[in-house]
Amino acid sequence: MPVWQHDFLGGGFEALELELPPDEEGPVCATLVRHVRPLATQTAPHGLLDALTAFTRRRRRRDVPVTHGPPRVVLYLHGWADYFMQTELAEFLGASGFHFYALDLRKFGRSLRPGQTPGYTTDLSVYDEDLDAALRAIQQDVAELTGSAEVPTIHLLAHSLGGLIAALWADRNPGRIATLTLNSPWLELQGSSLIRSMAMRLVEPFARTDPKRPFRFPEMPAYWESVSNLAHGEWTLDPEWRPRLPSRSVQGGQRQSWPGTPPSNANSISTLRCSCCFPAGLGSRPSGPRSSCASTP
């Protein structure tokens, strides 16, 4: 039986491999990451910069005790060519009274295995297996951590492609989560409807005959450069899991996975873009169209 292992993110982070049914490329797994708050006296800051960082994190938010109701959980879902690495997010939500978990989907990040095509799928509904396995593991883990038999309240937080996956999953699984928060969700391809239609017509023949054929696109490294400590950012990015140019090629067989391709997808998620809200403890209401949230029935 899989057990929690030390995660490369360091103290307070552990990972659990979730075995999934194999596909045409062989064995498949997803990986659940949890944040277990370390003791405050575990380490002392080294140098002025570390001391300032520790002070800033303490000032961000005071610990919020939770004394009533079922346990509260935030499950984070990453985007395209990505994986979980946002330690500050986990620490903030942990201090806000939430149990924090993140899921690396099959063939992404921690779940990418030798011989697999990174991020490849022909149907976004396959990720139902990943999310179902994660929710089962979370319920069991929270019960063991809290000693409570109450079913935890799940708040699903999803970014980019993860936002599309989460929105469609929530539509197929009403009532399984309390809230759905979308951070810059990739709900549709950019460009006019005419350009999108032409692009899909060009891709469709390859999707049928050569589904893993790569399509080359112009280099767009701006986002990577904004977050990587090798450029202008602060995060250490794994070059295999978060490559500098993740948009340089896309397999033709993924046409069915792209936002807005199946007509039913657009209908399913249209209502999720009309309101912005956060569960108590997640902060104030965001502004603008880049973030959206909806309570599920």
Res. 28: pLDDT tops 90: yes
Check residue 66 and give its pLDDT.
59
Check residue 64 and give its pLDDT.
58
- Eight-class DSSP state of 172: H
Pick from 42-51, 255-264, 268-277 the range whose average pLDDT is largest: 42-51
Q: What is the identity of the amino acid at 118?
A: P
Check residue 154 and give its pLDDT.
98
Please identify which residue in the block is written with the tokens 């140098």: 47
Per DSSP, what are the bridge partners of residue 18? 30
Check residue 257 and give its pLDDT.
45
The number of beta carbons lying within 10 Å of the beta carbon of residue 62 is 9
Interior/surface letters 125-148, b for 16+ CB within 10 angstroms, e for the rest? ebbebbbbbbbebbbebbeeeeee
Check residue 100 and give its pLDDT.
98
Long-range CB pairs of 93-96, under 8 A, 24+ apart, other chains included: 93/35, 93/281, 93/282, 94/35, 94/37, 95/37, 95/60, 95/61, 95/62, 95/63, 95/64, 96/61, 96/64, 96/281, 96/282
Please identify which residue in the block is written with the tokens 């985007």: 79
* Range 193-208 average pLDDT: 81
- Model confidence band, residue 281 (pLDDT cutoffs 50, 70, 90): very low
Question: Contact at 8 Å (CB) between 93 and 76?
Answer: no
User: 26-35 and 99-104 as β-strands: parallel, antiparallel, unpaired?
Assistant: antiparallel
pTM for the model stands at 0.78
- Model confidence band, residue 292 (pLDDT cutoffs 50, 70, 90): very low
Res. 44: pLDDT tops 70: no
- Name the residue with higher pLDDT: 158 or 207: 158
DSSP 230-241: TTTSSB---TTT
Check residue 255 and give its pLDDT.
45
> What are the structural domains, with CATH classification, of the chain?
5-41+48-188+259-295 (3.40.50), 190-253 (no CATH)
Q: For 203-250, what is each residue's pLDDT tens digit?
A: 788 778 888 877 776 777 888 888 889 899 888 889 889 888 654 444
* Range 161-175 average pLDDT: 96
Q: For 63-107, what is each residue's pLDDT tens digit?
A: 555 567 899 999 999 999 999 999 999 999 999 999 999 999 999
- Eight-class DSSP state of 188: S
Check residue 69 and give its pLDDT.
87
Question: Contact at 8 Å (CB) between 226 and 233?
Answer: yes
